[in-house]
Amino acid sequence: MSQIELDQVARKILTDNDQGGYTVPTKGLYPYQWNWDSVFVARGFATFDTDRAWREIELLFEGQWRDGMVPHILFRKDDPSYFPGPSVWGTDGGPIPSSGHSQPPVAATIVRDLLELDASDAALDRAKLLFPKILQWHRWFMAYRDPDNLGVIAVIHPWESGRDNLPDWDDALRGVEIKDVAPYERKDTSHVDPAMRPHKEDYDRYLSIVAACRKVGWEPEKVARTCPFFVADPGITFILLRACRDLLALADRLGETAAQPEVEGWISRMETGAARLWNSELKAHVAMNLRTGKQSDGVSSASFLAPYAGLTDPEVLKPLREHFDRISAKVRYLMPSYDPEHQAYEHLRYWRGPVWAMVNFMIARGFAEAGDPGRSDRLRRDTAALIQTGGFAEYFSPETAEAAGGGSFSWTAAIWLAWAR
């Protein structure tokens, strides 16, 4: 397909998945509004419909909880094609039925991008309305996902990381007792090949974590202290650190200077805290189980987000470039979600190996900003080649470019339009 044809298909995917102001990731498999999906989708819409781009983010923030949390799924209408739906979560923290935890906070970064593309008065007004909501969301992360001021951000559930069955979670997940799980029927494996999805045992534990948090009424202090899963995630830490820098720039642009000292405090807390996630044997940032202090032992695609977070220490960048080159000699397409030399790597199973377009977009941005246009462009070319070969799939094999997971996928289409083409 030519570039123009791919552009047309990508736009059609976004408009077909549009539910009237918010976009589903793909029909059938994911029939609701997901948090970080929507924000990347807004970046795609911004290439041909700015009003629609703002709308996507505004609708996401309509679901913000009273305590500041922005949920990972908004269940605007019940749809039996997805499990677990609203009744399993049992939340009542916000105005729209939702899941009980969040997802990687990319909103400040993309709102800043939207203003770069269009700084009209109308756009500035919309950004001004969003600003305090994003600020409140970041404050929620700092309070309840880093309750001990360590400068690293935890996830209370693999789903909160957005990288669900990543090998980094295996050890902590094994420590979650399977309990309080009513008999259930998965829906994901009726939409896509089970070999590309998490195992049943993973799901049993995912649901056990939900049950434990439901028991404490999803109260954020109690969740932080009692949740059976509490793991510091380099992905969410780096994405939030980056988003705080963008929020600071937005504060400047929008005249919200009163917020700046608080945001600066968060930035320096995470800049210092990130060192805790540095695995000195591996020479990369990894996850750390905050209940036990144990670090994970593999390089993941989030390790490559350090430059995106603005960490430019040569002691970090040099080994990262070496990992990049080592991995690029092992697989045809970058960046696999997990190290292909690690024993847990599987090239088609979801977050245990496959390449995800929006992760590549963030990694490439960081490398370009750190003065490495060569590696940045390699990621862009690989992402384009994967889409040209496999179509607008949810994720791809780094070895064969095989399309995996759901098809006609919104964020893959958005990233094509915004960057990969």
Q: CA–CA distance from 313 to each of 269, 275, 309, 327 (Å)?
A: 16, 11, 12, 21
Q: How far apart are CA 381 and CA 361, in angstroms?
A: 11
Binding mask of the shown chain, residues 30 to 59, with x at each position contacting ligand 9WN by CB under 6 A? x---x-xx----------------------
Answer for the pair 48, 417: CB distance below 8 angstroms, yes or no.
Answer: yes
Answer for the pair 145, 276: CB distance below 8 angstroms, yes or no.
Answer: no
Residue type, 108: A
- Of 6, 13, 25, 407, the one binding ligand 9WN by CB under 6 A: 25
In degrees, rounded to 5, the angle at the alpha carbon of residue 400 between the alpha carbons of residues 399 and 402 is 125
Smallest gap from residue 203 Cβ to ligand 9WN (A): 10
Examine the residue annotation and report whether 394 is marked as an active-site residue of this protein: yes
Q: How far apart are CA 160 and CA 233, in angstroms?
A: 10
Q: Given the residues 7, 79, 164, 171, select the one marked as catalytic.
A: 164
Span near ligand 9WN by CB under 6 A; candidates 13-21, 60-68, 158-166, 301-309: 158-166
Q: Which two tokens stand for residue 39?
A: 């924000």
Q: Which two tokens stand for residue 152?
A: 């690293």
Residue 303 or residue 328: which is nearer to ligand 9WN going by CB?
303
Q: Is 159 in the site for ligand 9WN (CB under 6 A)?
A: yes
Number of amino acids touching ligand 9WN (CB under 6 A): 10
Q: Is 367 in the site for ligand 9WN (CB under 6 A)?
A: no
Q: At what angle do helices 234-254 and 357-369 cross, to 10 degrees?
A: 60
Residue 162 or residue 336: which is nearer to ligand 9WN going by CB?
162
Span near ligand 9WN by CB under 6 A; candidates 29-37, 217-225, 240-248, 341-349: 29-37
189 conformational bin, left if phi > 0, alpha if psi -120 to 50, beta if neither: alpha
Q: Is 235 in the site for ligand 9WN (CB under 6 A)?
A: no
Residue 345 or residue 409: which is nearer to ligand 9WN going by CB?
409
So which residues are the catalytic ones? 164, 394
Interface residues with ligand 9WN (CB under 6 A)? 25, 30, 34, 36-37, 72, 159, 162, 164, 188
